[in-house]
Amino acid sequence: THHGTHFDVENAKLWDLPEQRVPIGIAVSGERSCELAGTLGDLVIATEPKGDLLNAFDRHGGTGKPRVGQVPVCYDTDRDAAIARAHDQFRWSLGGWKVNSELPGPSAFDQATAFVRKDDITGSIPCGSDVDAFVEAVRPYREAGFTEVALVQIGGAHQRPFIEWARTTLLPALREL
């Protein structure tokens, strides 16, 4: 049973406990969230390749725990289609956490992203099938000290082609970083 600021749960019970405890990752953006992640989390997640986030995570007990960077990507053999899809489905990501965390709903996201151009997308999200562009998007996370990178493929209908391309082309290139 939990009575909190944001929700109440009465008599909750997890019936089938896993043999191994499920690791909990906490996303961070600053000192306070790094403190929570270092103290309570099993791993840290960040959407920006900032070494100072990892340093703060370490100061608060995160030393030795996995560090996951999230990188949005939009694979497609048709680069223009990838750019259009990223612009349609992920343009909100260019606003940054401080903006996105304050927007109250979908109409506010629409207003906040009304002036995001396709050129803005291509400057921050690798689109298409140029393996070098994807590697360069991951490189700053590696250099900042992240131990893992989660590639967030944009577009549900394009997951299988991305996974196959990543298996045969992208992952071998990333392993050379």
* 60 plus 74 within the same structural domain: no
At residue 5, the 3 state secondary structure works out as coil
Q: Which of 49-63, 87-101, 117-131, 153-167 bottoms out in mean pLDDT, i.e. has the lowest?
A: 87-101
By the 10 Å C-beta count (0-12 exposed, 13-18 middle, 19+ buried), 44 is classed as buried
* 98 plus 177 within the same structural domain: yes
Closest CA to 147 of 54, 72, 81, 41: 54
Report residue 163's pLDDT band, with 50, 70 and 90 as the boundaries: very high
The answer to whether residue 30 scores a pLDDT higher than 90 is yes
Q: Return the percentage of the chain with pLDDT > 70, whole number.
A: 99
Please compute Rg for the chain using Cα positions: 18
Q: State the amino acid at position 63 in one-letter form.
A: T
Q: Give the pLDDT confidence of 5-21 residue by residue, as tens digits.
A: 988 999 988 888 889 98
Tell the residue number behind the tokens 């992920």, with chain if given. Answer: 90
* 162 plus 177 within the same structural domain: yes
* 26 plus 112 within the same structural domain: no
* 101 plus 57 within the same structural domain: no
* 116 plus 42 within the same structural domain: no
* 102 plus 42 within the same structural domain: no
Give the number of other CB atoms < 10 A from CB of residue 69: 26
- Read off the DSSP letter of residue 114: T
Domain that holds residue 25: 1-65
* 24 plus 107 within the same structural domain: no
| Inter-residue contact 90 to 154 (CB < 8 Å) | yes
Q: Give the pLDDT confidence of 63-75 residue by residue, as tens digits.
A: 999 999 999 999 9
Average pLDDT over residues 136-163: 97
Return the pLDDT at 176: 94
The answer to whether residue 96 scores a pLDDT higher than 80 is no
Q: Give the pLDDT confidence of 121-149 residue by residue, as tens digits.
A: 999 999 999 999 999 999 999 999 999 99
Question: Phi/psi at 46 (nearest 5 deg)?
Answer: -140, 150
Return the pLDDT at 157: 93
Average pLDDT over residues 161-176: 97
The answer to whether residue 98 scores a pLDDT higher than 80 is no
At residue 21, the 3 state secondary structure works out as coil
* 45 plus 95 within the same structural domain: no
Q: Point out the domain boundary residue: 65, 93, 118.
A: 65
**Model pTM score:** 0.85
* 110 plus 142 within the same structural domain: yes
d(CA 32, CA 35) in angstroms, rounded, equals: 5
Provide the number of structural domains found in the chain.
Answer: 2
The answer to whether residue 100 scores a pLDDT higher than 80 is no
- Read off the DSSP letter of residue 152: E
d(CA 79, CA 128) in angstroms, rounded, equals: 4
Tell the residue number behind the tokens 């944009």, with chain if given. Answer: 154
Report residue 95's pLDDT band, with 50, 70 and 90 as the boundaries: confident
Q: State the amino acid at position 22 in one-letter form.
A: V
Q: Point out the domain boundary residue: 22, 40, 65.
A: 65
